[in-house]
């Protein structure tokens, strides 16, 4: 790491803006035909790519990138002047080390590509070419951490460039067109919990993001886990999603108005995500959490093709998601950093 040289100034130097700080942290892109960072005026091109790409999600859209991290940048690949692929990148300092990672409240990014056309062999060759271009560039980063979208199965070009991979899992309902079929596929215990809550007078209705945040605080406290995002992170994203008609908050309340559980749902036409939530630890036996989740699924059916529980590695949470008949879906968690740093980040709960 280069030493910092401080030179005297004749007048006070104003602090760099967040955008300028990001420019200083993010390294320059190696010269490669068609590979460069997008300008803000090119973000409509990016959003159009995200809309059509199998790997594109609501978390890749420019408004969402700006909400979760105003300093995220998009590395795009242009072919014959046309944007055909890209990847969001976020740079921040951890333990005094620059890390190329993802923003908080972001399940996955990874390389976003236009739909691959032609015969299987032709499409596979094109995919390898595009992923190879990004892998070669991102290998310049000393420290890299990203979860790739579940639809991006191929990480081989990254392996060849020295990256490592860990399989992680989410749980999804693949077809929301028939909620009655989803109901039939649930475990009996899950349906009993839903009926129990309904019979006791628990009702699900829209709420404000602050209600979800309060419920999340209670759950993190009960689990003895440090909150993985700041309150401001959550409020900024949830309000942005509400403004874009791409998110909503719901709470399950009893007849006295007491909140048993609350959750935040965010979506695009391809996939809806249960992104954050929590509940009152003294009311866990009411069945309200199951009723709330069932309401989220039904609400998503009119807006998205797939419901994503935004899976967890915590065993009781994973077991709860499975009771809804959800399918386990693996995705690639791709990293590159010295092994000692990986151990430090894991111990600190940063990855």
Residues 52-71 have pLDDT tens digits of 999 999 999 999 999 987 67
Rounded to the nearest 5°, which phi and psi values hold at 25?
A: -75, -45
Distance in angstroms (rounded) separating the CA atoms of residues 293 and 297:
6
Distance in angstroms (rounded) separating the CA atoms of residues 293 and 265:
10
Per-residue pLDDT, 316? 85
What's the average model confidence in pLDDT over 306-321?
88
342 pLDDT band (50/70/90 cuts)?
low
Rounded mean pLDDT of the chain? 89
Distance in angstroms (rounded) separating the CA atoms of residues 172 and 321:
9
Is residue 9 predicted with pLDDT exceeding 80? no
**265: part of which helix (H) or strand (E)?**
strand 259-267
DSSP string, 80-144: TTEEEEEEEEEEEEETTEEEEE--TT---B--EEPPP-SSHHHHHHHHHHHHHHHHHHHTT-SSE
* Three-state SS letters, 126-158: HHHHHHHHHHHHHCCCCCEEEEECCCCCCCHHH
Per-residue pLDDT, 126? 97
Per-residue pLDDT, 136? 97
Per-residue pLDDT, 166? 96
Residues 6+ apart with CB under 8 A from 261: 215, 251, 252, 277, 278, 279, 280, 283, 288, 289, 292
Per-residue pLDDT, 96? 80
Per-residue pLDDT, 51? 98
What's the average model confidence in pLDDT over 267-288?
97
Ordered by where they begin, the domains of the chain are 19-169+331-347 (3.40.630.30), 176-304 (3.40.630.30)
66-100 pLDDT per residue, tens: 998 767 899 999 999 999 999 999 998 877 888 89
Per-residue pLDDT, 313? 74
Helix (H, G, I), strand (E, B) or coil at 285: helix
Question: Which region holds residue 348: left if phi is over 0, alpha if psi is between -120 and 50, else beta?
Answer: alpha
Per-residue pLDDT, 341? 62
- Residue 38 contacts residue 99 (beta carbons within 8 Å): no
**Nearest Cα to 279, choosing from 257, 310, 258?**
258
What's the average model confidence in pLDDT over 181-198?
97
265-276 pLDDT per residue, tens: 999 999 999 999
Per-residue pLDDT, 103? 93
Higher pLDDT, 326 or 95: 326
If you count them, how many residues does the chain have?
Answer: 351
State percent of the chain over pLDDT 90: 78
Per-residue pLDDT, 344? 60
- Residue 319 contacts residue 166 (beta carbons within 8 Å): no
Distance in angstroms (rounded) separating the CA atoms of residues 121 and 64:
35
- Give the CA dihedral 205, 208, 211, 215, nearest 10 degrees: 70
Distance in angstroms (rounded) separating the CA atoms of residues 262 and 241:
17
**64: part of which helix (H) or strand (E)?**
helix 62-68
- Give the CA dihedral 342, 344, 348, 351, nearest 10 degrees: -10
242 pLDDT band (50/70/90 cuts)?
very high
81-90 pLDDT per residue, tens: 999 999 999 9
**Nearest Cα to 260, choosing from 234, 235, 290?**
290
Match 């995220």 to its residue by tokens.
Answer: 72
Is residue 14 predicted with pLDDT exceeding 50? no
Match 């976020």 to its residue by tokens.
Answer: 90
Is residue 10 predicted with pLDDT exceeding 80? no
Per-residue pLDDT, 68? 87
Distance in angstroms (rounded) separating the CA atoms of residues 335 and 145:
5
What's the average model confidence in pLDDT over 176-201?
97
Distance in angstroms (rounded) separating the CA atoms of residues 37 and 31:
11
Higher pLDDT, 274 or 348: 274
Is residue 27 predicted with pLDDT exceeding 90? no
Distance in angstroms (rounded) separating the CA atoms of residues 50 and 130:
16
């Amino acid at each position: 790491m280069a030493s910092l040289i401080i030179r005297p100034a004749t007048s006070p130097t104003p602090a760099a803006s967040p955008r300028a700080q990001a420019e200083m942290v993010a390294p320059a892109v190696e010269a490669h035909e068609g590979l460069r960072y997008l300008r803000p005026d090119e973000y409509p091109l990016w959003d159009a790519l995200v809309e059509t790409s199998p790997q594109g999600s609501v978390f890749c859209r420019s408004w969402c990138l700006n909400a979760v991290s105003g300093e995220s940048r998009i590395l795009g690949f242009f072919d014959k002047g046309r944007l055909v692929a890209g990847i969001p990148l976020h740079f921040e300092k951890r333990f005094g080390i620059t890390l190329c990672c993802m923003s908080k409240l972001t399940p996955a990014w990874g390389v976003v590509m236009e739909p691959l056309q032609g015969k299987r062999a032709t499409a596979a060759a094109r995919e390898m070419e595009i992923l190879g271009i990004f892998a070669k560039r991102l290998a310049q980063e000393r420290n890299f951490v990203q979860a790739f979208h579940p639809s991006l199965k191929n990480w081989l070009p990254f392996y060849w460039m020295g990256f490592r991979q860990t399989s992680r899992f989410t749980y999804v309902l693949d077809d929301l067109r028939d909620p009655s079929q989803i109901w039939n596929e649930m475990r009996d215990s899950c349906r009993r919990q839903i009926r129990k809550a309904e019979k006791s007078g628990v009702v699900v209705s829209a709420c404000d993001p602050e209600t979800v945040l309060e419920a999340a605080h209670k759950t993190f406290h009960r689990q003895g886990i440090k909150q993985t995002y700041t309150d401001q992170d959550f409020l900024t994203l949830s309000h942005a999603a509400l403004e874009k008609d791409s998110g909503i908050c719901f709470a399950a309340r009893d007849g006295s108005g007491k909140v048993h559980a609350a959750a935040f749902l965010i979506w695009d036409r391809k996939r809806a995500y249960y992104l954050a939530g929590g509940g009152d630890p003294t009311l866990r036996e009411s069945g309200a959490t199951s009723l709330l989740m069932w309401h989220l699924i039904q609400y998503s059916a009119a807006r998205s093709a797939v419901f994503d529980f935004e899976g967890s590695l915590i065993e009781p949470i994973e077991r709860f998601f499975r009771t809804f008949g959800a399918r386990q879906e693996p995705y690639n968690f791709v990293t590159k950093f010295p092994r000692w740093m990986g151990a430090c980040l894991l111990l600190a709960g940063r990855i």
